[in-house]
Amino acid sequence: MYPWLMPYWQRFQLMFAGKRLPHAFLLAGPSGIGKSALAVQWASLFLCEKPQQNSPCGHCHACQLSRQQAHPDWHVYGDDDTRTIGVDTIRQLSAQLMNSPQLGRGKVAVIRQAERMTEAAANALLKTLEEPPGNSLLILQSESAMKLLPTIVSRCQVWTLQADEQQALTWLHEQLPGRNISPAMLRLNQGAPLRTLAYLNEGGEQQRQAVITALDAYRLQPWTIGSLTKCWVSAMPVTFEWLSRLLLDALKLQQGVALQQLPFADHPALLSFLAQRPAECLLDSMQQLLQLKQSLADMPSAVPSILFADWLSQLLTKE
Q: Assign residue 117 the CATH number of its domain.
A: 3.40.50.300
Instruction: Report the length, in residues, of the chain.
Output: 319
153 and 220 belong to one structural domain: no
- pLDDT recorded at residue 211: 86
Is the torsion defined by CA of 110, 114, 118, 119 positive or negative? positive
- Shared domain for 263 and 250, answered yes or no, is yes
Is residue 41 domain-shared with residue 134, that is, in the same domain? yes
Asked whether residue 169 falls in the same domain as residue 156, the answer is: no
Distances (CA, A) of 243 to 180, 193, 246, 274, 312: 23, 22, 5, 11, 11
- Residue 143 · residue 26 · CB < 8 Å: no
Q: What is the pLDDT of residue 317?
A: 67
pLDDT of residue 301: 58
Among positive and negative, which fits the CA dihedral 310, 312, 317, 319?
positive
Indicate whether 13 and 156 sit together in one domain. Answer: yes
Q: What is the pLDDT of residue 236?
A: 79
Q: Are residues 192 and 235 in the same domain?
A: no
The model's pTM is 0.88
Strand-by-strand arrangement of the 157-160 sheet? 74-77, 107-111, 136-142, 24-28, 157-160
Query: Are 112 and 21 in a shared domain?
Result: yes
Residues 147 and 17 in one domain: yes
Residues 286 and 177 in one domain: no
Q: How far apart are CA 114 and CA 155, in angstroms?
A: 14
Residue 267 CA to residue 270 CA, distance in Å, equals 6
Is the Cα dihedral 294, 297, 298, 301 positive or negative? positive
85 in Cβ contact with 114 (< 8 Å): yes
| Residue 95 to residue 200: CA distance in whole angstroms | 42
pLDDT at 94: 95
Phi, psi of 295, deg, nearest 5:
-95, -15
pLDDT of amino acid 315: 82
Query: Residue 237's pLDDT is what?
Result: 79
Q: Compute the CA torsion angle 174, 176, 179, 181 (nearest 10 deg).
A: -70
Q: Are residues 14 and 125 in the same domain?
A: yes
Range of the domain at 188: 165-201
pLDDT lower than 70: segments of the chain: 297-303, 317-319
Distance CA 4, CA 37 (A): 12
Burial 53-79 (b: 16+ CB within 10 A, else e): ebebeeebebbebbeeeebebbbbbbe
23/116 same-domain check: yes
Q: Torsion-angle region of residue 162: left (phi > 0), alpha (psi -120 to 50) or beta? A: beta
Enter the DSSP assignment of 85.
B
The total of structural domains in the chain comes to 3
